[in-house]
Structure 1
Amino acid sequence: MSGTLALVPAAPGKRLGAAVLDWLAPVAILTVLLSFGFAGITSTRSAGLIIYDTSLLALLGSIGAGLALVYAFAVATVEGRSGNTIGNRLMGIRSADKDGYAPGLGAVFLRGIVTGAGILLAVLASVLVAVFKWFDAAPLILGPLLLLGTAWAAVVVVSSAWDRNGKLRGWHDRAAKTLVFDVVNGRNPVATGGIEGPYSFAPLDLPPVQHVASPVASRTPVVPGPVASETPVEPLPPAAHAVHLDTAAHPETAAHPDDAMDRTQVRAGVRQDAPEAVLRITLDDGRDFRLERTVLIGRNPAPAAGESQAQLLPVPDPGRTISKTHLHLLTDGTGLWVTDRHSTNGSAVTTPDGMRTALQPGVPAYVSPGTTVHFGDRTFNVGHA
C-alpha cells in the first residue's frame, strides 16, 4: 500500500497511544466513583443478620456507568462517521472500513466489544458482587478481573504487530473488517477517496472513459408538414414583397431551398404558448442529461423513502471519490436545488462569477444555469436544454 496508493498502516505503538488517550479519562472517572461507592458501604446487625447499605455505591456506580456509556456512544459515532477520535487525531491515525472510507457505527461498536471484552466482564462481576453482597470478597474478585481486562484490551490494540499481512490488521480489525492508517506519514483515505484514492492515485491501466452522445443533441428534429386550415391566408405585407424582389435581384444572396424547412410562418389569430423551461447537466466527460424533476447522482444511486420516482444517474468513478448516492437534484425548469446527501468527500458549487461555495450536508442550495457543481473528483455544468 505504501507504493502507488501512498497508504501507511498505523504502527501498534500509535494505536495503543490513541486508545489510552481516548479512554484514560472515562476509565479513571469510573474507577474513582466505584472506589468511593464501595468505600461508602456500611453494615448493621439486626436480628442476627448483617444488613449492608449500598445506596452510595448504587448512586455513584449509576453515575459512572451513565457517563461512560454516553462517552462511548459519542466517540463511536464520531469515529464511525469520520474515522477520527481525540486519540486518533493526536497520534495522527484514522480508522477506515475495508474500502478506505469511514468505518461506520456498527464496525466501531464491534471493535469496541472485542477490545473491551475483559473490562465488560469486570463490570458484570461488579454487578454480581453488589447483587449477591459479596463485598468481603470484592477485592479478590474485581482486582484480578480489572487487571486482566486491561491487559486484554492492550494486547488486542497492538495485535496488528503479529499480522503477517504487513501488520495491517489487529484481532479486532479482523472481526469488524476495519483498517487503521497513519495519516502523518501517508495519505488519509477517508478524506481522499478510499483505498484507491483520487484519480492521481488510481492505477494507470484503468479503461478510458466512454464518451456517450448527448440524448438531447442526438434527438432528430421533427419537420412539420403542411397544415390544412379553413382560415384564408392573408397576403404578405409590402415589406415582405420587398424582400422577395431584393432576393430575385441578387441571386447570390438567395437562401438555400432547405432553409424554408426551419422557418415557421405565424398565422394571425393563433396563440403561441411559451415553451416549457427544461434544464440539463453536462458532465466533465462530455455526456449530457436532460433533467426530470427529481434526480439522484452517485456511483450507484438508490432512492430513499419517498423517492421511488427519482431519476437515477450513475456516474463512473474509478477513484471512488463519489458516494453511492452523492447528490439530490430538484428542478423546476428554471433553476436547480442541489443537496449533498452526507457524502464522504463533500460537494461544492461555483457560480458563473467564479465564487465557489462548499455545500452543507443535507441543506439544499439553489443554483442557476451556468453554475458548476463539484462532487468528489467529478463535476457537471448546469444549462438549458
Structure 2
Amino acid sequence: MIWEIDDGTSVVEGLDAHGRPDPAYAASLGLLPARTGSRVLASLLEWAVAVLVALPALIVLTPVLVDSASGGFDVDAFFARGDLVWVIVAVAVSQVLTLAYVIVQLVLHGRKGVTLGKAVCGIRSVNVRTLERPKFWRGAVVRYLLAYASLIVPVIGPVLVIALSPLFDIERRGRGWLDLAAGTWFVDVRRGLNPYDQKRMRIARKSVKISEHEEKAPLPSLATPIDRDAPAEYVPSARLSGGVIGAHRSQTPAEKTDAQAPGLMVATVPPSLATGAPPVFPVAPAAAPAPAVPSPAPPASVPSAAVVSPPQAPAAPAPAAVSDAAAPAPSAPASVARAEVGDGIRAVLVLDSGARVEVRGTTLFGRSPAAAAGEGEAQLIPVPDETRSVSKTHVAVMPARRGVFVVDRASTNGSAIIRDGAETPLVAGHPAELRTGDTVRFGDRTMRVEQA
C-alpha cells in the first residue's frame, strides 16, 4: 500500500512565472475591478458615519478648541462650568461609539472583505494573490492605520492617499497605496463575479483550469434497428427470448402494399405462436358451388375434398386446387402485438424551473444540445445555466420497450439519479432505467420523472 502524505503546502493559482498575481487570470474568472467613483463614494460614506458617531463630542469640544486656538481658554472657568458632567458624558459616548464602529469595520473587512460603504456600493475586498478574504492584520489593521495616518495632513492627505493614488496603478486594476501596503484588491460584485460565492468561484476556477470536454460522436451500435430505415441505437431492453439483440423489423409501406395485392402469399406469424397458446391456423372461406357436371362417382375408398381444421387432423391437409379468379386471397392475420418506441407520450419530465417536457422519442438536454452524427432526429431541450455546470449536450432520455432510460453524454460535471433519497451517479455512455418519481441531477440542474 502506498501512503500519500499531505505536506500542507497549498498551491496558489493565478500567479505568473515571477510569483506575482496575474491580472489576466482574475479577468478570466470574471472578476472586475471596482470603479474609482464607487471606491471614493464608499470612503465618503464611511467617513460620514464616523463623523455622525463622533458628533456629540464635536459639538461640545468645538468651542473649547476655538478658545484654545485664540488664546482665551481658561482652565478654571472650564472646570467650574455647571454642565461639565454632560460634556464628559457626550465625549465618552462618542469615544465608545467610535471605537465600536472602528472594531466592527475591521472585523468585517478582515473576515468578509466588506465594510459599510463597500456593502452599499457593491464592492468586496480580496487578497490580491489568493483572491480570497484578506488577512486581518495586514489587510484590515494596517490599511486603517495608514488611512488614519493620512489625516495628519488635513484634506490633502486623505485625497491623495485614498482618492488619487489608484489612478497611478500601472496594472490598471485600481489599486492604490493602501492596497499595495495591505496586499488587497477591490472588485465590483455587481458587474462581475462575487469572489465570496464559493460555488461560482469553484466552477470558474475549474472552467479556467480544465478545458471543456469536446463531445465526440458515439460509435455505431451493433444493435438491430427496429425499422429498416431507423438509425442504429442501443436499446438495452430490446433483447428477444433467443438472446439476439434487436427487434422485429416492421414492414415498410412497399411491403404492406405487396401484402395487400391479390394472388401473393405473405408469410406471417400467427398471434397464437407469440402467446404460447395452441396453434390455430386461419381457414380459407369455402368457394361457391360449381355447376353440376356429370362425372363418374368417385371410388368409395377416396373421400371427397374437405377442409379439415389443423387441431382435428394429425397432419396438414393438402391445399385444394382453386383457381386465382374463383378463390379470394386469404386475409392476413394480425401481427404480433408490440409497443412501438416513440408512439405517444412515454413520460413527462418536470425541470426545476417548472417547465414540463413530454418524452416521445430521444430527448437531449444541455446548454446547447445537438444530435450526434447518425443519431437521427431528436428533441432538443436547451437548459439555461449561468454557472456553466451543464454541458452543451449533457444527458439523453430515450424511450425503450420496457420504459424510459437516461444516458450521460460524457458531461463535465456528471449526472446522477436520486431515488428514495439515495443518489446513484451515472456512468457516461451507460443507460440507466428511470422510474416514476425519480429525480435526475445533471450539473446543478434537476428534473423529476412523472408518468405520462
Same fold (TM over 0.5): no
Higher strand proportion: 1
Q: Report which of the two structures shows the higher radius of gyration computed on alpha carbons.
A: 2
Higher helix share: 1
Normalising by structure 1, report the TM-score: 0.35
TM-score calculated relative to the size of structure 2 = 0.31
